[in-house]
Amino acid sequence: MRKLHQLITACAVGAITLTGSALAADAAKEPTGKQLAFDRSKGNCLACHGMPTQPDAESTGTYGPPLIAMSARYPDKAKLRAQIWDAMAFNPATTMPPFGKHQVMTEQEIDKVTDFIYGL
């Protein structure tokens, strides 16, 4: 009976370890905020905004304001997130797409982009 208990315990520990490894691998596959911001099918921030602090940001955008010193411009990070979610709520004449409202990005993706942009 004791050997059966040890075998079951070993199998359970192995399953937990494999599950944890699989979850870590899945998390590693998820895009970062920077990847989402640069992705043309998601954030596509570079289409309109320059990012002077990002040397790999090949920006064609000069339409929107440059994304720099964002924590100074948005001391309340929630306001920056709300701007990314639906800029039209603050300025009905804006041309910035409502990424959250139109489900271009998920809640989690908006959070990641907000964290990235806030750090610029």
Can you tell me the distance from the alpha carbon of 11 to that of 19, in angstroms, rounded to the nearest whole number?
12
User: Which pLDDT belongs to residue 96?
Assistant: 93
- Residue 54 carries which side chain, given as an amino acid letter? Q
User: Which pLDDT belongs to residue 83?
Assistant: 96
pLDDT in tens, 85-115: 999 999 999 999 999 999 999 999 999 999 9
Q: Average of pLDDT values for 3-32?
A: 59
Prediction pTM value? 0.73
Evaluate if residue 117 carries a pLDDT over 60: yes
pLDDT in tens, 31-74: 999 999 999 998 899 999 999 989 888 877 678 999 999 999 99
- Assign 3-class secondary structure to 17-41: HHHHHHHHHHHHHCCCHHHHHHCCC
User: Which pLDDT belongs to residue 36?
Assistant: 96
Contacts of 33 (CB under 8 A, 6+ apart): 112, 113, 114, 115, 116, 117
Can you tell me the distance from the alpha carbon of 42 to that of 91, in angstroms, rounded to the nearest whole number?
22
User: Which pLDDT belongs to residue 58?
Assistant: 82
Can you tell me the distance from the alpha carbon of 117 to that of 37, in angstroms, rounded to the nearest whole number?
8
Calculate ∠ Cα 68-56-81, nearest 5°. Answer: 40
Band of pLDDT at residue 4, cut at 50, 70 and 90 = low
User: Which pLDDT belongs to residue 12?
Assistant: 52
